[in-house]
Amino acid sequence: MNLAIIKYNAGNIQSVLNALERLGAPATVTDDAEALRRADKVIFPGVGEASTAMASLRANGLDGVLRELQQPVLGICVGMQLLCTHSEEADTEALGIIPVNVRRFPAGAPGEKVPQVGWNTIHDLRSPLFKGLPEESYVYNVHSYYAEDSAYTIARCHYILDYAAAVQKGNFYGVQFHTEKSAATGDRILQNFLDL
């Protein structure tokens, strides 16, 4: 399988690569439009601030390339947030591929600090992306912003409020949590994505 990871100015590319290597699925990290179009699957990772990540995509013309991809695409963390319409983080106009807004967590109870950092469970799993995983599977999170629940939600999570842990529209999938840091559950989700 020809697997591409979008190269732009955002973190966690190396840890996604390592996770894929564990699964025996080596990937190419590239910002070349033709290579991205030709790939069987594309992973859009991300750790960082939404407006900076979006600016980096635009500077390389990758926003247009991304919107037109036809094969399965998986956005992770900021990658997922940028597939959406808008993020409250620095009032960022995102790619608008999945019509969902990304908002900042309100202040929570004393035990619920923002950002959410650590393990939490996901539920209402309804996508082949979660094949073989039980409800309340644990995944690893680091974020202050979340995608609002909508008709595009394919998994939910509760932290301060209910939000979309994963979204999908057509060939575009996004997960808020870090598959590459979610141990066996994360590996299973990545493998399921490769199997789509």
Ligand X SMILES: NC(=O)CC[C@H](N)C(=O)O
**Whole-Å CA distances, 106 to 50, 91, 145:** 18, 16, 9
CA distance 9 to 71: 23
User: Which residues 47-66 are close enough to bind ligand X by CB under 6 A?
Assistant: 47-50
DSSP category for residue 54 = H
Out of 33, 55, 142, 196, the only residue in the binding site for ligand X (CB under 6 A) is: 142
Q: Is 148 a catalytic residue?
A: no
Q: Does residue 108 touch ligand X according to CB under 6 A?
A: no
Q: Under the criterion CB under 6 A, does residue 144 sit at the interface with ligand X?
A: yes
Q: Is 82 in the site for ligand X (CB under 6 A)?
A: no
Per the annotation, the verdict on 84 as an active-site residue is no
Cα–Cα distance for residue pair 70/6, rounded to 1 Å: 15
The helix (H) or strand (E) run that includes residue 80 is helix 78-83
Q: Given 34, 68, 77, 143, which residue is catalytic?
A: 77
Let me know if 158 is a catalytic residue. Answer: no
**Choice among 84, 89, 157, 180 that is catalytic:** 180
Under the binding rule (CB under 6 A), the answer on residue 77 touching ligand X is yes
180 is a contact residue toward ligand X (CB under 6 A) = no
Beta pairing class for 86-87 and 101-104: parallel
Catalytic residues: 77, 178, 180
